[in-house]
Chains A and B, each alone.
Chain A
Amino acid sequence: MKPLSPVSLKVNGDAYELSIPAWRTLLEVLREDLSLTGTKRSCQEGQCGACTVLLDGRAIYSCLFLAVEAQGKEILTIEGLARSAGALDPIQKAFVETGAVQCGFCTPGLIMAAKSFLDENPSPSEEEVRRATVGHLCRCTGYFQIIEAVLAAARERAGKGAPA
Chain B
Amino acid sequence: MSVQACGDYAIIGKPVPKKDAWIKVTGEAKYADDLFLAGMLHGKLLRSPHPHAKISHIDTSRAEKLAGVRAVITGKDFPGVKYGNMPQTRDYLPLAIDKVRYIGDEVAAVAAIDEEIAEEALDLIRVEYEPLPAVFDAEEAMKPGAPQLHDHAANNMSAETAFQFGDVAKGFAESDYLQEDLFETQPIKQGMLEPHACIGQWDETGKITLWASKQSPYVVWKQLSMGLGIETSRIRVIQTYVGGGFSGGKQEAMPMDFCAVVLSKKCGRPVKFVHNMDEVLTIGHMRHPMKLWLRTGVKKDGTLLAQHLKIIADGGAYSSIGQLSMYLPGAMLNLPYRVQHVKYEAYRAYTNNGFCGALRGHTIPQVCFARDSQLDLIAEKLGLDPIDIRLKNGLRPGEVTPNGFRLGTFGFTECVEKAMEASGWKEKRGNLPRYRGIGMGCGSLVSGARVMGHSASTAQVNVHEDGTVALVTGSTDVGQGADTVLSMIAAEVLGVGLDDIRFALVDTDMTPADPGTFSSRVTFWTGNAVKIAAEDARRQLAEIAAEKLKAEIDDVVFRDRQVYVRNDPQRRLRFDELVRLAQHRLGKVIMGKGSYTSGEALIDFRTGYGNMSPAYTPSACVVEVEVDPQTGQVTVAGVWGAHDCGFPLNPMLVKGQVLGATVMGIGQALYENLIRVDGKVMNPSFRDYKMPLTEDMPKLANVGHVNVITNDPSGPFGAKEAGEGAAAGVIAAVANAVYNATGVRFRSLPFSPDKILFALKESGGKGGKAQVQSQSFT
Contacts and interface: CB of A to CB of B under 8 A. Distances in A.
Given A37-B27, A102-B660, A140 B17 contact: no
Nearest to A146: B694
A45 B18 contact: no
Contact of A43 (B31, B274, B686): B686
Nearest to A88: B25
Nearest to A41: B33
B656 A102 contact: yes
A43 B274 CA distance: 12
Interface string B13-48: 001011011101111111101101000000000000
A136 B695 CA distance: 11
A147 B193 contact: no
B89 to A, nearest CB: 26
Interface in A28-47: 31-32, 35-45, 47
A160 interface: no
B274 A41 contact: yes
B688 to A, nearest CB: 9
Given A38-B26, A134-B694, A103 B277 contact: no
Contact of A140 (B27, B195, B656, B697): B656
A105 B694 contact: no
B697 A42 contact: no
A62 interface: no
Contacts of A67: none
- Chain B interface SS verdict (over half): loop
A155 B498 CA distance: 27
Contacts of A77: 27
Interface string A12-56: 000000000000000000011001111111111101101000000
A43 B277 contact: yes
A40 B25 contact: no
Contacts of A102: 18, 244, 479-481, 656, 660
Contacts of A143: 663, 692-694, 697
Contacts of A35: 36
B25 A142 contact: no
A106 B655 CA distance: 18
A9 to B, nearest CB: 17
B697 A40 contact: no
A120 interface: no
B660 A142 contact: yes
B26 A105 contact: no
Contacts of B28: 38, 79
B241 interface: yes
Interface string A114-139: 00000000000010011101101111
A121 to B, nearest CB: 15
B659 A145 contact: yes
Contact of B17 (A38, A97, A103): A97
Contact of B193 (A31, A133, A138): A138
B564 to A, nearest CB: 32
B192 interface: yes
B677 interface: no
Contact of A137 (B193, B246, B653, B655): B193
Nearest to A95: B25
A48 B193 contact: yes
B659 A141 contact: yes
A96 B25 contact: yes
Contact of A131 (B24, B31, B34, B695): B695
A148 interface: yes
Contacts of A104: 20-21, 24-25, 29, 241, 243, 479
A99 B17 contact: yes
A75 interface: no
Interface in B259-280: 274, 276-277
B691 A137 contact: yes
A136 B662 CA distance: 18
Select the residue from A44, A48, A107, A136 with max chain B CB neighbours within 10 A.
A107
A126 B660 contact: no
B69 interface: no
Contacts of A11: none
Nearest to A32: B36
Contacts of B695: 130-131, 134
A101 interface: yes
Given A137-B691, A139-B691, A44 B276 contact: yes
Given A37-B27, A48-B193, A103 B479 contact: yes
Given A88-B26, A104-B243, A133 B694 contact: yes
B685 interface: yes
Contact of B244 (A136, A139, A148): A139
A45 B770 CA distance: 45
Contact of A38 (B27, B653, B700): B27
A31 B272 CA distance: 15
A40 B686 contact: no
Contact of B243 (A103, A130, A131, A142): A103
B242 interface: yes
B664 interface: yes
B244 A142 contact: no
Contacts of A36: 27
B656 A141 contact: yes
A101 B21 contact: yes
A133 B481 CA distance: 24
B328 to A, nearest CB: 22
Given A79-B26, A144-B659, A145-B656, A136 B694 contact: yes
A64 interface: no
Contacts of A144: 659, 697, 700, 703
B666 to A, nearest CB: 8
Given A99-B17, A143-B694, A105 B663 contact: no
B585 interface: no
A7 interface: no
B44 to A, nearest CB: 14
A45 B194 contact: no
Contact of A105 (B15, B194, B662, B687): B194
Nearest to B665: A142
Contacts of B274: 41
A70 interface: no
16 contacts: A40-B193, A45-B687, A47-B686, A79-B27, A82-B25, A97-B17, A101-B24, A102-B660, A103-B241, A103-B479, A133-B694, A136-B694, A137-B191, A137-B193, A140-B660, A144-B697
A-B pairs, top 9 by smallest CB distance, nearest first, are A38-B27, A103-B479, A104-B24, A105-B243, A142-B663, A102-B479, A78-B27, A37-B34, A47-B686
Given A142-B692, A143-B694, 7 more contacts: A99-B652, A101-B24, A103-B243, A133-B694, A140-B480, A140-B660, A142-B660
Interface of B: 15, 17-18, 20-22, 24-31, 33-34, 36, 190-195, 241-246, 274, 276-277, 478-481, 652-653, 655-656, 659-664, 685-687, 691-695, 697, 699-700, 703
